[in-house]
A and B are shown apart, each in its own frame.
Chain A
């Protein structure tokens, strides 16, 4: 049973947990657009450089839209971006550590907005163990993900499975 504030937080967390993925072809498309309008380095063309800005702005806007939009597709082997969220209003710092960042707390520090900590990590297909490190000392499993059964090191971990092109 949740009161209204808890319900709002839960809804926000649910929204933030939606997987976000970036079209693997985005880089190629953006670079192709830029290359198609690029002047040779030795002959600067100020007039065309001015015209390049709308393309770059459009590419940036497209990138922002793709990053913000949950994307359900993804080819086998390509990395999809996943957002990890932990509600910890009292925490001073939270890091995401797992098989995807060599269990290095410095690699994926999480950002907070009013106690909701979040970070996004690209993950290729696979099964990954991970945990949250709160204040540099306290290990927490992800309450919104399956728990790893084999906590051989005495602290909780969670698992996330990223599928490929399953039938």
Chain B
């Protein structure tokens, strides 16, 4: 008990000495330091939490909003780690949080972990970015899971860029993902193109 208390004091001291957090008001800083130390104590990365606090400070957000954002991120990092593994790297956890917040379920993260060799950072990030582009979360999850076993990081990025290009030209996000996936030999969804991978995809036209 004494040892735990001592460790806590030492850990609080370490975080409190981080000069970057001096940009926060004292009340917010104490909350953020507590969350950071709690996260560190259970083996979660602290740097993403500090960066989120600094983002809020630079953007002039109110203290309670910063504290809530940091707390929420700590919770989500824990959820991502549970879904991925205890040995997951900080970048993978951050990308996992992005995927979860985009709408992917923890089960999708676990399946991705089982389907692909680490690092999973890019696969998780592409999943999150596809959803951010407007692709339905289920479709994005399905296509990334289908590509995960064999696709290189560069292939995933190229896929995301192709979908974003289609969307910028006026294609519906879900349809674009389906057609592009079919073009790489992946079957998912219900569109005609997805059911007939041999059929060349029709390029979307300008609106």
What 1/0 mask marks residues of chain B from 145 to 167 whose CB sits below 8 Å from any chain A CB? 00000001110110010001000
Q: What residue in chain B is nearest A76 (Cβ atoms)?
A: B119
Q: Mark B45-64, 1 if CB is under 8 A from A, else 0.
A: 00010010011111101000
Query: In the assembled complex, which residues on chain A have CB atoms less than 8 Å from the CB atom of B128?
Result: 146, 149, 159
Contact between B55 and A157 (Cβ–Cβ < 8 Å)?
Answer: yes
Q: Indicate whether B74 reaches chain A with its CB closer than 8 angstroms.
A: no
Q: Give the 7 A-B residue pairs with the shortest CB-CB distance, closest first.
A: A166-B153, A161-B125, A126-B91, A146-B129, A103-B58, A163-B153, A163-B122
Fill in one digit per residue for B29-51: 1 if any A CB lies within 8 Å of its CB, else 0. 00000000000000000001001
> Are A152 and B69 interface neighbours, CB within 8 A?
yes
Q: Is the CB of B59 within 8 A of A147?
A: no
- In the complex the two chains form, is A164's CB within 8 Å of B59's CB? no
Secondary structure at the B interface, as helix, strand, loop or mixed, is: helix
Cβ contacts under 8 Å, B121 to chain A: 125-127, 161, 163-164, 166
Number of A-B residue pairs with CB-CB distance less than 8 Å in the complex they form: 99
Q: Are B65 and A127 in contact (CB under 8 A)?
A: no
Tell whether A150 is near chain B: CB-to-CB under 8 Å. Answer: yes
Q: Are the C-beta atoms of A159 and B122 separated by less than 8 Å?
A: no
Q: Are the C-beta atoms of B91 and A166 separated by less than 8 Å?
A: no
Taking CB atoms and an 8 Å cut-off, the chain B residues in 149-203 that contact chain A are 152-154, 156-157, 160, 164
Interface centre among B48, B90, B94, B164 (most CB of A within 10 A): B94
In the bound complex, residues from chain B placing their C-beta under 8 Å from that of A104 are: 54, 58
The answer to whether A155 has its CB under 8 Å from any CB of chain B is yes
Contact in complex: A147, B54 (CB < 8 Å): no
Binding site for A on B (CB under 8 A): 20, 48, 51, 54-59, 61, 65-66, 68-69, 72, 90-91, 94-95, 98, 101-102, 116-117, 119, 121-123, 125-126, 128-129, 131-133, 152-154, 156-157, 160, 164
Contacts of A167 in B (CB 8 A): 116-117, 152-153
A27 interface hit (Cβ, 8 Å): no
How far is it, in angstroms, between the C-alpha of A163 and the C-alpha of B121 when the chains are bound?
7
Across the interface, name the chain A residue whose C-beta is closest to B91: A126
**Chain A interface residue number, banded:** 20 to 34
- Interface contact B59-A163, CB-CB below 8 Å: no
Closest residue to A149 on the B side, CB-wise?
A: B132
In the complex, chain A residues 122-167 whose Cβ is within 8 Å of any chain B Cβ:
125-127, 129, 139, 146-150, 152-155, 157, 159, 161, 163-167
Which B residues are CB-close (under 8 A) to A155? Answer: 59
* A147 CA / B128 CA spacing, docked (Å): 10
- Extra contacts besides A152-B69, A152-B72 (6): CB < 8 Å: A102-B54, A127-B95, A153-B56, A161-B122, A166-B153, A167-B153
Closest to A160 in B: B125
Q: Could you say which residues of chain B place their CB within 8 Å of the CB of A149? A: 98, 101-102, 128, 131-132
